[in-house]
């Protein structure tokens, strides 16, 4: 496929998207443009597409609700999706496509009048742009399905073609640059916004003085959808027309950062058909999923809107809440998947050790434990994150289960730094196992003590192995739990046939001896430093090619490798300091100074 003919170069498109497209799309696309590895680039490519799809769906549905949700057939369609619980990318595509179809012949009613013509021909047939969006859905579900054996070589072979498809598609949405996103910061009781963050492409201009008059009925205090510091407004700066995108999208602050979130999942309580929780996803690797509970503004606003869809139907046409919508969502730990993703972004090397681990998994068919020992910073968490990815678990199962065509691997993962309470993470592992069996265990299965949960997990793993032929549990950083080893009772002493468990922790602590006493079949191996052959891959994962080439002339990377003893953490800290020197030299226009390798820390005590 050739690049979009409407632009002279990819750089022209990049400049437009990053500087002018709506913030969620622009920020994802910038990460795509900056990505170094083929795997990272492909993930960012799909993030950009999903951000585009989420944004279009959010705008259309927000406007549709504002019009009073007038179409009965569309209301029934939306209710089935929203009552279902989790929204898959296929669900979003269907909701976006069919809601847009309602505006054939009256696209001027929408905030983006060009939207309908971009997706449909005047006779209602789909345009090539809409077909391209649907093709990207299929690519997303296929290429991020079962991840076994998918590495940089695999993604490099498909990257260019799909990048051209994405860029060609993005180029058809130039009109997205016509409106701005505002985040009101100061709103009077009369509805006048005098201070707002303004998003221009991927840049957020904070606390800008503005003058935008809202209808008082749009204020949350009056039953509307405008909440200061939370609601995003899609604004036409010339006419001052605006569309609140809350609660389908919102802006949220976290300790690690802040960003735009899109509605991803609704959890219903069957009693009185009340909305109990909603989950939001942000396409930013630093941000965790956001959850809002009953009583909070997103939940109350969504519940009203969903009920409005039903109220617009005749009584005999009303849609009731299906059983599937009442699934338990509390037992997932999104922090685990965020931590895994952070390790996957810069993982490099370790091919021989990964091969040995996979060989152990293959030959241990009758069940067993593998304990990986390593000093702090040696890369245990990154290695086990990559192992889970190679076994097919590379994203939050709550999201993966709703992908069309996604083949869930029989792999469970917990990273102790994300959550250290044994009862809570045992519930999470049980929830992961239940999702693999496809059969409900019932709420009572999650309510016992550690012994009860351990026994339930063993039974669930037996069912997983029967269905899939095997099952694997990966638990990282046991030493974060308790150095004494007194809290490892959650681990079964022996495992059912076909179940393997891979653990990691620091060496030479009481916990290791406790594991050796408790577990009957335990293979122990120490994690060595990075091999010399791993160094080029490690550097390429952290440094841009041009900068790496420049630094090779100034710096003895072999000497740096010896200084840091091949410890990934020590190497990373050294690279961070080198990058600081590079930034300072570029800011002052001076050459990169001579860097003293001997000054870099090479002990845990020095690093911390």
Tell me the pLDDT tens digit for each residue of 231-279: 999 999 999 999 999 999 999 987 667 899 999 999 887 655 688 899 9
* Entry pTM: 0.60
> Spelled out in words, what is the top-level CATH class assigned to the domain 334-398+406-526?
alpha beta
What's the CA gap between 136 and 427, in Å, rounded?
35
Peptide bond into 247 cis (omega under 30): yes
Q: What are the CA-CA distances from residue 439 to residues 85, 327, 406, 541 (Å)?
A: 17, 12, 18, 41
**The pair of three-digit structure tokens given for residue 316, joined into one six-digit string:** 């005999």
Give how far Cα 187 sits from Cα of 50, 217, 222, Å. Answer: 31, 13, 13
Q: Are 163 and 169 in contact (CB under 8 A)?
A: no
Nearest one of 185, 315, 183, 320 to 259, comparing CA atoms: 183
pLDDT value of residue 408: 57
Domain ranges of the chain: 10-177, 180-315, 334-398+406-526, 532-606
Which tokens belong to 608? 């911390």
For the chain, 608 residues long, the average pLDDT of each consecutive 10-residue run is 59 94 97 89 94 98 94 92 88 96 96 97 95 91 53 85 95 96 96 96 94 95 93 96 97 82 88 80 85 90 90 72 51 83 82 91 87 91 91 68 52 90 89 86 81 91 89 92 72 89 91 88 91 86 80 84 87 84 82 81 71
Distances (CA, A) of 333 to 52, 82, 279, 396, 595: 26, 22, 12, 9, 42
CA dist 463 and 334 (Å) reads 24
Sheet holding 249-254, edge to edge: 249-254, 257-269, 274-281, 290-293
| Helical H segments across 289-350, by residue range | 297-311, 334-346
Q: Check residue 85 and give its pLDDT.
A: 81
pLDDT value at residue 295: 87
According to the model, what pLDDT value does residue 571 have? 87
pLDDT of residue 166: 96
Token representation of residue 146: 């079962």
């Amino acid at each position: 496929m050739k690049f979009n003919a409407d632009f002279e170069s990819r750089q022209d498109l990049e400049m437009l998207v990053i500087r002018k497209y709506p913030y969620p799309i622009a920020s994802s696309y910038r990460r795509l443009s900056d990505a170094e590895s083929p795997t990272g680039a492909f993930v960012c490519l799909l993030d950009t597409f999903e951000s585009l799809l989420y944004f279009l769906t959010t705008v259309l549905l927000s406007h549709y609700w504002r019009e009073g949700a007038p179409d009965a057939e569309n209301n029934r369609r939306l209710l089935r999706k929203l009552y279902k619980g989790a929204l898959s990318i296929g669900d979003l595509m269907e909701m976006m496509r069919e809601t847009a179809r309602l505006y054939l012949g009256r696209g001027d009613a929408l905030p983006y009048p060009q939207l309908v013509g971009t997706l449909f021909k005047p006779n209602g047939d789909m345009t090539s742009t809409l077909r391209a969006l649907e093709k990207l859905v299929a690519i997303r579900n296929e290429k991020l399905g079962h991840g076994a054996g998918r590495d940089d070589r695999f993604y490099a072979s498909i990257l260019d073609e799909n990048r051209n498809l994405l860029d060609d598609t993005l180029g058809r949405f130039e009109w997205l640059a016509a409106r701005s996103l505002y985040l009101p910061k100061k709103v009077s009781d009369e509805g006048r916004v005098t201070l707002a963050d303004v998003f221009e492409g991927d840049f957020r201009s904070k606390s800008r003085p503005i003058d935008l008059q809202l209808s008082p009925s749009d204020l949350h205090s009056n039953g509307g959808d405008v909440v200061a510091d939370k609601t995003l407004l899609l604004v036409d700066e010339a006419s001052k027309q605006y569309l609140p995108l809350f609660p389908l999208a919102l802006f949220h602050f976290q300790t690690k950062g802040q960003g735009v979130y899109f509605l991803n999942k609704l959890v219903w309580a069957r009693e009185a058909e009340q909305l109990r929780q909603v989950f939001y996803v942000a396409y930013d690797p630093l941000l965790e999923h956001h959850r809002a509970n009953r009583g909070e503004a997103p939940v109350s606003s969504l519940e009203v809107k969903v009920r409005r869809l039903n109220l617009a139907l005749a009584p005999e046409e009303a849609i009731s809440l299906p059983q599937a919508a009442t699934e338990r969502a509390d037992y997932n730990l999104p922090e685990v998947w965020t931590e895994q993703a952070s390790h996957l972004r810069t993982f490099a090397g370790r091919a021989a050790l990964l091969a040995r681990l996979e060989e152990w998994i293959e030959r241990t068919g009758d069940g067993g434990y593998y304990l990986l020992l390593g000093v702090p910073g040696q890369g245990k968490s990154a290695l086990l994150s990559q192992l889970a990815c190679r076994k097919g678990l590379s994203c939050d199962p709550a999201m993966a289960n709703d992908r069309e065509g996604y083949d869930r691997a029989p792999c469970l993962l917990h990273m102790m730094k994300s959550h250290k309470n044994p009862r809570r993470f045992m519930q999470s592992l049980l929830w992961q196992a239940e999702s693999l069996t496809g059969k409900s265990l019932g709420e009572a299965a999650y309510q016992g003590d550690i012994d009860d949960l351990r026994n339930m997990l063993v039974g669930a793993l037996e069912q997983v192995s029967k269905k899939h032929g095997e099952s694997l549990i990966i638990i990282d950083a046991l030493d974060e739990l308790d150095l004494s080893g007194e809290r490892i009772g959650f681990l079964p002493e022996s495992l059912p046939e076909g179940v393997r468990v891979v653990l990691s922790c620091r060496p030479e602590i009481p916990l290791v001896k406790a594991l050796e006493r408790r577990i009957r079949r335990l293979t122990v191996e120490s994690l060595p430093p990075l091999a010399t052959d791993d160094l080029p891959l490690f550097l390429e994962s952290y440094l841009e090619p041009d900068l790496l080439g420049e630094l090779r002339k100034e710096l003895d990377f072999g000497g740096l490798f010896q200084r840091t003893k091949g410890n990934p953490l020590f190497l990373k800290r050294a690279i961070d300091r080198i990058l600081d020197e590079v930034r300072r030299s570029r800011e002052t226009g001076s050459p990169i100074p001579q860097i003293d390798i001997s000054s870099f820390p090479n002990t845990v005590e020095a690093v911390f």
